[in-house]
């Protein structure tokens, strides 16, 4: 997709925000890695961030469910992303749903400086509610890509992350042990699916 490559205008890099959203297992991290690795092949200066709390597969690397990975810097808050190197041209951010509400403003500042910002995150939590700063990021992005998983109950496209674990707290790290990607129908059937 041409638009998702670095944006040129009158010979200069133009900043932009791209959001990759969807349910768990929908391929958000794979798509983020694909775009970031293409930028690295193009010899652009790329920096990648994730929330410090996301220790699911690795303390520092961004890792997909298929175990593809890329090194990243874990940060405690979105403002730390602004402390990046002066020559950075592309910024990748994974697990955006776990960041604070200032993340959209941070991404706007980076894009205004000419940086291509690519953000991946869950658009909905396990209750089907908008999750953290992701909906606000979708509103200000140049490009939003919503990817679907496959519903584990019926094979339809899945947009929900159904929680099978007993916890009611919004944040619960996990994978197939605690969540199933489900379509609208199977999500609302709950335990009856
Ligand atoms: N039910 C499913 N639907 C789609 N992909 C699945 C499913 N279960 C496992 N996968 C695997 O998960 C991969 C996507 O992983 P990843 O990019 O880490 O997703 P996300 O970041 O959206 O959670 C797929 O390429 C596929 O191999
Ligand atoms: C739906 C939902 C998910 N989480 C957690 C579970 C995982 O650790 C991440 C999502 O990872 P992925 O790369 O999208 O597979 O988020 C959560 O804490 N709360 C939720 O409601
Ligand atoms: Zn289904």
Question: For residue 102, what are the β-bridge partners?
Answer: none
| CA 74 from centre of chain | 14
HSE-CB at 113 with a 13 A cutoff on CA atoms is 16
Ligand 1 midpoint to CA 12 (Å): 36
Nearest to 147 by CA among 2, 1, 64, 25: 25
Q: How much is the pLDDT for 1?
A: 47
Nearest ligand atom owner, CA of 96: 2
Write down the pLDDT at residue 96. 98
pLDDT value of residue 6: 67
Helix-strand-coil split of the chain, %, nearest 5: 25, 30, 45
Catalytic residues: 95
Enumerate residue ranges in the chain where pLDDT < 70: 1-13
> Tokens 């520092």 identify what position?
60
Q: Are 125 and 88 in contact (CB under 8 A)?
A: no
Ligand 2, CB within 6 Å, residue ranges = 24, 28-29, 56, 122, 125-126, 161, 170-174, 179
Half-sphere exposure for 44 (CA within 13 Å, toward CB): 23
21 CA to centre of ligand 2 in angstroms: 12
Query: What is the pLDDT, as a whole number, of residue 10?
Result: 61
Long-range CB contacts (within 8 A, 24+) of 9-12: 12/114
Q: Cβ(24) to ligand 1 under 6 A?
A: yes
* Predicted pLDDT at 85: 79
Strands 149-150 and 157-158: antiparallel
Q: Are strands 12-14 and 7-9 parallel, antiparallel or unpaired?
A: antiparallel
Q: Are 91 and 84 in contact (CB under 8 A)?
A: yes
């Amino acid at each position: 997709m041409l638009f998702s490559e670095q944006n040129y205008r009158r010979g200069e890099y133009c900043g932009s925000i791209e959001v990759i959203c969807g349910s768990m297992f929908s391929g958000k991290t794979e798509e983020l890695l694909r775009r970031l690795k293409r930028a690295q092949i193009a010899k652009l200066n790329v920096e990648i961030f994730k929330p410090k709390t996301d220790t699911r597969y690795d303390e520092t690397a961004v890792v997909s469910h298929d175990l593809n990975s890329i090194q990243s810097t874990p940060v405690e808050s979105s403002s730390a992303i602004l402390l990046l190197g002066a020559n950075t041209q592309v910024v990748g951010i994974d697990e955006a749903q776990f960041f604070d509400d200032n993340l959209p403003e941070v991404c706007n500042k980076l894009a205004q400086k000419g940086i291509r910002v690519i953000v991946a995150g869950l658009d909905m939590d396990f209750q089907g509610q908008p999750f953290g700063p992701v909906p606000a990021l979708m509103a200000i992005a140049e490009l939003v890509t919503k990817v679907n998983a496959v519903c584990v109950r019926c094979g339809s496209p899945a947009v929900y992350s159904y929680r099978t674990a007993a916890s009611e707290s919004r944040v619960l790290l996990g994978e197939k042990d605690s969540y199933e990607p489900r379509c609208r129908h199977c999500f609302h059937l709950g335990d009856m699916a």
